[in-house]
Chains A and B, each alone.
Chain A
Amino acid sequence: MLKMTHLAKVYRTEVVETYALRDFNIDVKEGEFVAVTGPSGSGKTTFLTIAGLLETFTGGHYHLDGVEVSQLDDNARSRIRNEKIGFIFQAFNLIPDLNVFDNVEVPLRYRGMKAAERKQRIMDALERVGLASRAKHYPAELSGGQQQRVAIARALAGSPRLLLADEPTGNLDTQMARGVMELLEEIHREGATIVMVTHDPELAARAQRNVHVIDGQVVDLAEEPRFHAHAHLANS
């Protein structure tokens, strides 16, 4: 589903080159739930933005659902983001001027879907996250957990092949975080492929597989238990 090989991301200024990712390799199979962990500045968010086609990369290869994405133009990348990827952000990223219904509708409009189908998908997605009754509410009228559920509904409404979650519980209290995590697990059980970036070891432990990132490189925790302990201490 998602395969990066020797991927590199370099930020260049006039005087310095900074490697955010270096010889980065990862292979996420269809239906997997992978947690990407690592300390701040390790490159895990850079990985997520490249995986989500929000940013380009400097070298290496990236195949998404069998398509090499490095040669795609901006419109093609937009179409893949719209049709194949669902994003769940730490800060929810709902549009404050739109109500819940209209927020969930945003990606469907960009797909050029007919109004009746849009409405059906939106209501299905909102039912799925338990917020159908809040369709006319604005984000500011919802709790953090509810806002994240709306964001998940927005990600689900387009039936994406891949869900990318960036610290999905980072802005939530424990109880709300648990609710959101249970929802993600449920979505995964139904067959979704999920890649979740987190620095919370408890959340990471609930994923099928953990991938640890340090200094822009992937380290498989199953093979390198020392890094796990190190990372745990660093984040505790």
Chain B
Amino acid sequence: MQIKPILAALRRHKAGTILIALQIALTLAIVCNALFIVHERVDRVNRPTGMDESNVIAVQNRYVGSPPNFVPLVKTDVQALRSIPGVESAYATNSYPLRQGGWSTGIQTKPDGTKDGVPTALYFGDEQTLKTLGVRLIAGRNFNAGEVVTVQPQQTPSPPQVIVTKAIVDKLFPNGDGLGKTIYLSKGKPSTIIGVVEKLTVPWTDFDHLDNVTIMPVIFNSGYQHFLVRTRPGEQDAVFKAIPKTLYGVNRMRVLPEKYGVRTYDMVRSRAYEADRGMAILMSVVCGVLLAITAAGIVGLSSFWVGQRRKQIGVRRALGARRSDILSYFMTENFLIALAGVVLGVVLAVGLSQWMFTHFEMKRLSFTYVLVGVVVLLGLGQAAVFAPALRASKVSPVEATRSV
């Protein structure tokens, strides 16, 4: 290998060498962290809700006017939705996973109402809720129609029966004996855990306790209602179109917002993670641009050096260098510069990650990303220098006899 003379030559071209190495180092530091953020966002976007999201349609409904009791209207709408051909089940609720709005409270195991309980999101529903959500009941039973109670706007909902997620049971009753236990969602009003579902997430994507959900057999006396509808496979499109027609047919005194009135669950998920997706795209573009600029820098400097050293290349060829020797000279030279750059880049990447961890509560950069970044940057360097190096290898030995 001709590493020693290459290093000796690079020492005589410090400015260009240091600039490219720094560019590679900065690119590595930024790209590693950016790709880590992209991966985290993609993970979030694909995070499961615990539901079987296919064939579920979400409806957002606002009744117009001020009738004394909305409950009959809600019940009529639920019946109408259930009667649409292709519908498997439907129910009215206050919220659902990824809705980005809903209710939460703290669950206590003591009746005195102290606020040191486990945080939970509250979902209203009925006997068709579990079926519509497609969640798995792992212990206990479902609600029956007779257990559904009405809750007024000023009331804190605390029905006698609730179904909770496994995450809540595990936290409240670590011994695994939560089924049948009493919990308190409001002071002095006991609720019995009659069922446990494997997993169901809260409505918010940034909530710390993502899997803490309590489902209640409640119909809420409010003009603002959400309906979830499960269709039979292959019927989603037809039901999607039929829902507004059906609901307006039952009662025209309502508003189904044009954009978010009726949505498939893909649309719900897409809307919930819009910002994450945007950030992932932005970071990917930044990575792409940075890598392209770095590659262009390497191509530019290598081409300049090849042009500058044309006579020197001719002399080397005259002294016995094969084309492959010249190619390998420039490839090795770039590799050494890139290596210096990635070593510095690793330090910068870890430093940047530590800084973001300290100041923005972000996760620490996984070393896998640093390794991938190192391989990508070294590979990019070799790819970028290949064309100029190939051009150099084609310089004729007769260049040695030409005057400059």
Contact = CB atoms under 8 A, between A and B. Distances in A.
B401 A78 contact: no
A55 interface: yes
Given A54-B400, A89-B401, A98 B8 contact: yes
Contacts of A53: 397
A79 B321 CA distance: 8
Given A98-B8, A98-B9, A54 B319 contact: no
Interface in B123-179: none
Interface string A72-91: 00110011011100010101
Contacts of A95: 9, 312, 315-316
Interface in B245-265: none
B400 A78 contact: no
Contacts of B9: 95, 97-98
Contact of A48 (B13, B312, B396, B401): B401
B318 interface: yes
Given A78-B322, A97-B13, A98-B9, A106 B316 contact: yes
B401 A83 contact: no
B398 A55 contact: yes
A96 B315 CA distance: 12
Given A45-B401, A87-B400, A52 B8 contact: no
Contacts, number: 86
B53 interface: no
Interface stretch (A107-115, A125-133, A173-181, A220-228): A107-115
A91 B403 contact: yes
B199 interface: no
Contact of B319 (A48, A82, A96, A97): A82
Which applies to chain B's interface (DSSP): helix, strand, loop or mixed?
helix
Query: Which range holds the interface residue count of chain A?
Result: 20 to 34
Query: Which range holds the interface residue count of chain B?
Result: 20 to 34
A78 B396 contact: no
B397 A99 contact: no
A78 B321 contact: yes
A158 B323 CA distance: 20
A102 B4 CA distance: 9
B401 A111 contact: no
A54 B323 contact: no
A129 B198 CA distance: 88
Interface string A140-169: 000000000000001000100000001000
A97 B12 contact: yes
Contacts of B401: 45, 48-49, 54, 89, 166
Contacts of A40: none
Nearest to B13: A97
B400 A75 contact: no
A149 B404 CA distance: 21
Q: Which are the 6 A-B pairs with shortest beta-carbon distances?
A: A82-B320, A97-B9, A110-B320, A107-B319, A54-B397, A54-B398
Given A54-B396, A74-B323, A81-B317, 20 more contacts: A49-B398, A54-B397, A54-B398, A54-B400, A54-B401, A74-B322, A78-B317, A78-B323, A79-B322, A83-B320, A91-B403, A93-B400, A95-B9, A96-B12, A97-B8, A102-B5, A105-B5, A109-B2, A111-B320, A154-B319
